[in-house]
Amino acid sequence: MDAPLIELEGVSRRYLSGEQEVTVLHPLNLAIQAGEMVAIVGASGSGKSTLMNLLGCLDRPSEGHYRFRGQETASLDALALARLRCHHFGFIFQRYHLLPHLDAAANVEIPAVYAGMAKADRHARSRALLTRLGLSDRSHHTPGQLSGGQQQRVSIARALANGGEVILADEPTGALDSQSGKEVMAILKELHGLGHTIILVTHDMAVADHADRIITLKDGRVQSDSGSPASLPPPPTPAAIPKGSQGLDRYREAARMALHAMLAHRMRTFLTMLGIIIGIAAVVSVVALGQGARAKVIGEINAMGTNTIDIFPGKDWGDEKAASIRTLNEGDLRALQGQPYLEGASPQLSTSAQLRYRNQTKSGTVNGVSSDFFRVKGMTLVGGRLFSERDSLDRAPLAVVDADSIKGLLGDEDPIGKVLLIGTLPVRIIGLIKEETGFRQPSQSVSVWLPYRAVMSRLISQSHFNQITLRVRDGVQPALAEREVIALLRQRHGSKDFFTFSSDKILQSVEKTTATLTLLVSAIAVISLIVGGVGVMNIMLVSVVERTREIGIRIAVGARQSDILQQFLIEAVMVSLLGGVLGVGLALLIGLLFSSLVDAMQMQFSLFSILMAFACSTLIGILFGYLPARNAARLDPVVALARE
């Protein structure tokens, strides 16, 4: 006779029970030939299930040798044992051990998924098996919708999914009524007839009588063994298991399981994700806000002209002595106007005054400027003319007005040529300007520009300037021009009693503020994300404990440790990723709300920050899901299966 299919030599199993070591199986020798149908009988607690788990490679012997097809199993690693279970064994349990949230067909397919069978082949096979077992009309029922006998038939189909060369049935009829039990036994006998090796455990002698060989266990020892029959049916032609594309299918299966688990506990999953949702939403919307603010400021600076420099007296903004510094004067203006790197220079003297036209009075902002001013500021003339250099020198009482705000005084009359009273000074309107509002809100007061000399001599009587505005020539670096200007004025004044301000500087300070704000909120968000991650880890640990039995079943039907690890890791990643998606959605919603409430600016969402949010949440899932997933993968299948 050939080497037996299964050969145990001095195999024993001991458990540590507290301080004491309990021997559940005493060293035993056993050989089972391919194609045998063996019944293992014995009283409850005699060690039948323990022996069965050893035979099915769900458990390892404490000592002795177990050879399967002559191959020593002690030298196999976890992966090789999983392969052995997957391709050679089919388990049938007393309590069926079907996965409750999958329908019959999906349950039958699980071993085939782990064997890497292609989807179409898997479907065809499960359909054929269920039809063969009389369940063709039940394939889309979940276990809860099936009777005990039907569930056991589904589990037989599952045992055959990868061929079921050796079928290990532990009390397969134990939970069934006698009629269903008879049906199940008939199926097992039929499979035996087809050449499958059947090993079944029972405490019912009527069931055991179906077998060719009966082994009786008592207190962990073989009490009697009727021995292998003389003749055996011819071994079956091994069922060809079609191989298919491996990886992707496993991921899809894992993702589907994760989805089931998430949907089963919607509220719990949502609360778990909350930390991640808030963290991601905070970062994405603050970055969008920063981007929006930045875009707004840059837009306004571009409208104003990016290459202007303002000169003010004093050390900096808010210098109290600034008002008494009178060194910024006409001489400086002339000197600056002569510089080749500047395109124009204009003083700016502002005062407010009452404007009158006929019997209408309005408050107005009166600006004394040079003829260069409008070019320096990039203002556009929309009607009439600007005053000339000559007008400036002549202190001519001519005014250019803001086309919009003058309507408050003149109504719909054409302003050109009209004479206004500024205080008591009559001035003639010669030009209309479209004013860029810049940072200021559109004001109620009327903006009026006069030649600066007219303002200085007729309205405020002072001989120094409060501000000079310069425009840098195109092609000259603003920073370079600014340095030149500072050097020139310092030389003229003998000390630096002025300061400069350029749009460049505004830009820089806005960039800095945005960066600081983003950093600050990101720091808060990171804390939220960590809290969220811990939440995910916590819920995954609970999930592993809750689904211990499911894990045991999966391992029994051929899942490798890496399959289990992958499944739980994917679940953690899906929870976090969904949190990320909801977070981004929330941020977009905030953006929508923001744009409907705030007119001045818009939040700007960048694809990059959204992709980063997804990457970040995936990373959290992997990071915080790893520990629970590893716990799941390392579960002892025997212990896991025993869990109710």
3-class DSSP assignment, residue 43: coil
Binds ligand ADP (CB under 6 A): choice among 30, 39, 48, 86: 48
Binds ligand ADP (CB under 6 A): choice among 1, 17, 247, 340: 17
Closer residue to ligand ADP, CB minimum distance, 24 or 286: 24
Q: Cα–Cα distance between 479 and 500 in angstroms, integer?
A: 11
Shortest CB 235 distance to ligand ADP, Å:
29
∠278-280-282 over CA atoms, to 5°? 65
Partner from Mg ion, ligand ADP, none contacting 294, C-beta within 5 to 8 A by type: none
- Looking at 40-48, 127-135, 230-238, 395-403, which segment touches ligand ADP (CB under 6 A)? 40-48
Binds ligand ADP (CB under 6 A): choice among 7, 11, 33, 49: 49
Q: Cα–Cα distance between 521 and 428 in angstroms, integer?
A: 55
Q: Does the footprint of ligand ADP cover residue 59 (CB under 6 A)?
A: no
Residue type present at position 6: I
Closer residue to Mg ion, CB minimum distance, 97 or 138: 97
Closer residue to ligand ADP, CB minimum distance, 22 or 523: 22
Q: Cα–Cα distance between 71 and 61 in angstroms, integer?
A: 15
What DSSP line would sit under 505-516, residue for residue?
HHHHHHHHHHHH
CB contact at 8 A, 567 and 544: no
Shortest CB 197 distance to ligand ADP, Å:
20
Q: How far is CA 387 from CA 283, 391, 401, 405, in A?
A: 52, 6, 12, 20
Binds ligand ADP (CB under 6 A): choice among 6, 8, 11, 24: 24
∠56-62-68 over CA atoms, to 5°? 35
Closer residue to Mg ion, CB minimum distance, 49 or 346: 49
What DSSP line would sit under 587-622, residue for residue?
HHHHHHHHHHH-SS------HHHHHHHHHHHHHHHH
Q: Does the footprint of ligand ADP cover residue 548 (CB under 6 A)?
A: no
- Looking at 41-49, 149-157, 368-376, 586-594, which segment touches Mg ion (CB under 5 A)? 41-49
3-class DSSP assignment, residue 642: helix
What is the distance between the terminal CA atoms of the chain, rounded to a whole angstrom?
A: 43
Q: Does the footprint of Mg ion cover residue 518 (CB under 5 A)?
A: no
Q: Does the footprint of Mg ion cover residue 49 (CB under 5 A)?
A: yes
> Which residue blocks in 266-382 are alpha helix, DSSP H?
266-304, 330-337, 373-376
Q: Does the footprint of ligand ADP cover residue 331 (CB under 6 A)?
A: no
**Non-local CB neighbours of 530 within 8 Å, separated by 6+ positions:** none
Q: Does the footprint of Mg ion cover residue 367 (CB under 5 A)?
A: no
Q: Does the footprint of ligand ADP cover residue 173 (CB under 6 A)?
A: no
Shortest CB 146 distance to Mg ion, Å:
23
Binds ligand ADP (CB under 6 A): choice among 18, 19, 44, 495: 44
- Looking at 47-55, 350-358, 398-406, 578-586, which segment touches Mg ion (CB under 5 A)? 47-55
Shortest CB 50 distance to Mg ion, Å:
8
- Looking at 5-13, 48-56, 480-488, 598-606, which segment touches Mg ion (CB under 5 A)? 48-56
What DSSP line would sit under 376-439, residue for residue?
HTT-EEEEE----HHHHHTT--EEEEETTTTHHHHTTS--TT-EEEETTEEEEEEEEEE---TT
Binds ligand ADP (CB under 6 A): choice among 8, 36, 41, 46: 46
Shortest CB 59 distance to ligand ADP, Å:
9
If one counts every other C-beta atom within 10 angstroms of the C-beta of residue 601, the result is 16
Shortest CB 48 distance to Mg ion, Å:
5
Shortest CB 85 distance to ligand ADP, Å:
19
CB contact at 8 A, 304 and 503: yes
CB contact at 8 A, 8 and 73: no
CB contact at 8 A, 94 and 170: yes
Closer residue to Mg ion, CB minimum distance, 41 or 106: 41
Closer residue to Mg ion, CB minimum distance, 49 or 514: 49
Q: Does the footprint of Mg ion cover residue 308 (CB under 5 A)?
A: no
Partner from ligand ADP, Mg ion, none contacting 133, C-beta within 5 to 8 A by type: none
Shortest CB 561 distance to ligand ADP, Å:
20
Shortest CB 186 distance to Mg ion, Å:
23
Q: Which two tokens stand for residue 7?
A: 């050969």
3-class DSSP assignment, residue 94: coil
Binds ligand ADP (CB under 6 A): choice among 3, 15, 224, 252: 15
Q: x/- contact string, 84-103, with Mg ion (CB under 5 A)?
A: --------------------
CB contact at 8 A, 415 and 460: no
Binds ligand ADP (CB under 6 A): choice among 50, 173, 503, 617: 50
Q: Does the footprint of ligand ADP cover residue 100 (CB under 6 A)?
A: no
Give the closest residue to 42 by CA, choosing from 181, 235, 203, 194. 203
- Looking at 45-53, 116-124, 378-386, 522-530, which segment touches ligand ADP (CB under 6 A)? 45-53
Q: Does the footprint of ligand ADP cover residue 20 (CB under 6 A)?
A: no
Please list, residue by residue across 101-111, b when 16 or more beta carbons sit within 10 angstroms of its beta carbon and e when fewer do: bbbbbbbbbbb
* Chain residues that interact with ligand ADP, rule: CB under 6 A: 15, 17, 22, 24, 42, 44-50
* Chain residues that interact with Mg ion, rule: CB under 5 A: 49
